[in-house]
């Protein structure tokens, strides 16, 4: 079974322009992501999907395999689908280009979940929320799961709602980490689906999958990561890396 990883690297960003090329301790952010993912023991290949030639040039300069895609894709999933149409593979791992603290073991566990569960068409990573303030942060996506660890719903709101105001430490909340694995055929089918009402409401493309009636398998990790959307996030990443 062939498994590839694709890192969608969109140059433009409203909150942090050109963020995939922003320097972190002397390297562009996308290079930190690529170097960490290259340590994977399960990926047969790793590709950076760029929407701008300046990102393509930087990626090739540090040794990455990179392809230039259309600038008009509405999401990273669409950008990956363009690349995958011309690549022979069974499973595709979608790796966010703005998470420079990603650990290769998480990627391996995610891809392995689809190898083990032949009925699953898509999987993603979740983590227990340990900071109560994250519950009301719309940039931290929450998820609720069933007994088989399939996602029931994703939201920017705090779910499940704590009606009785129980102590946070008595409850378990999960956050969604923006990392996915798909079977290739399902990814190409997903890319052709019309964006759903819930997806457009929450601005979360994974809701398109649930609303269409498919299941998303979740993989629980204890490893923390930081998605970079702001200068403040950059400072957190730099502090983390300096501390080793």
What are the boundaries of each domain within the chain? Answer: 3-242
Q: Contact, 50 vs 66, CB < 8 A?
A: yes
Please compute the mean of the pLDDT values over residues 157-161 and round it to a whole number: 96
Q: What is the CATH code of the structural domain delimited by 3-242?
A: 3.90.550.10
Q: Is the pTM of this model over 0.85?
A: yes
E strand or H helix at 175, and its extent? strand 174-183
Most confident among 10-19, 76-85, 143-152 (mean pLDDT): 143-152
Does 244 have pLDDT greater than 80? Answer: no
pLDDT of residue 243: 85
- Report how many helices (DSSP H) and strands (DSSP E) the chain contains, helices first: 8, 11
Q: Contact, 209 vs 122, CB < 8 A?
A: yes
Does 15 have pLDDT greater than 80? Answer: no
- Residue 80's pLDDT band, with cuts at 50, 70 and 90, is very high
Please compute the mean of the pLDDT values over residues 112-121 and round it to a whole number: 90
- The pLDDT tens digits for 19-78 are 999 999 999 999 999 999 999 999 999 999 999 999 999 999 999 999 999 988 888 888
Share of the chain above pLDDT 70, in %: 100
Torsions phi, psi of 111, nearest 5?
-65, -35
Look at the chain and count its residues.
244
E strand or H helix at 242, and its extent? helix 231-242
């Amino acid at each position: 079974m062939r498994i590839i990883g694709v890192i969608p690297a969109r140059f433009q960003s409203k909150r942090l322009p050109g963020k995939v090329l922003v320097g972190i301790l002397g390297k562009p952010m996308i290079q930190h992501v690529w170097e960490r993912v290259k340590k994977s023991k399960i990926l047969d290949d790793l590709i950076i999907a760029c929407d701008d030639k300046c990102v393509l040039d930087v990626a090739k300069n540090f040794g990455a395999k990179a392809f230039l895609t259309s600038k008009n894709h509405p999401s990273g999933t669409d950008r990956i689908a363009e690349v995958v149409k011309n690549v022979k593979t069974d499973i595709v791992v979608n790796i966010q280009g703005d998470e420079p603290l990603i650990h290769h073991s998480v990627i391996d566990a995610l891809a392995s979940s689809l190898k083990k569960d032949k009925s699953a068409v898509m999987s993603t990573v979740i983590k227990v929320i340990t900071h109560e303030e994250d519950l009301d942060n719309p940039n931290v996506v929450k998820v609720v799961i069933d007994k088989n660890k399939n996602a029931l719903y994703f939201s920017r709101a705090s779910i499940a709602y704590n009606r009785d105001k129980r102590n946070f430490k008595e409850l378990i909340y999960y956050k969604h980490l923006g990392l996915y694995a798909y079977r290739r055929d399902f990814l190409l089918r997903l890319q052709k689906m019309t964006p759903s009402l819930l997806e457009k409401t929450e601005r979360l493309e994974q809701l398109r999958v649930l609303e269409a009636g498919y299941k998303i398998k979740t993989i629980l990790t204890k490893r923390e990561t930081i998605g970079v959307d702001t200068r403040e996030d950059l400072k957190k990443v730099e502090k983390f890396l300096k501390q080793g």
